[in-house]
Amino acid sequence: PRRATPAPGAVVRPFQRSGGRSCCWPIGEPGTPEFRFCTAEAIPSKPYCPEHAAIAYVKARDRRDDAA
């Protein structure tokens, strides 16, 4: 398989994961100096803290509720 090449002028940095289990929720605009990750303690076996997991994992609604 072909390996993707970055766009000209792109800055490629490896994703740095801390040794612990920290939240990977992105905060800010990628490519800006303010961009960062949450880094709060993540839920075991999940990539996010409880606050961000509540946003990321939404239960599917029953379609019958939409028919009313």
| pLDDT, tens digit, 9 for 90 and up, residues 15-56 | 555 556 899 999 999 999 899 999 999 999 999 999 999 999
> Which CA distances in Å does 18 have to 22, 41, 42?
7, 11, 12
* Beta carbons of 26 and 35 less than 8 angstroms apart: yes
DSSP 8-state code for residue 33 = T
Between residues 63 and 57, which one has the greater pLDDT? 57
Global confidence as pTM: 0.59
Q: Which stretches of 6-62 are DSSP H helices?
A: 50-56
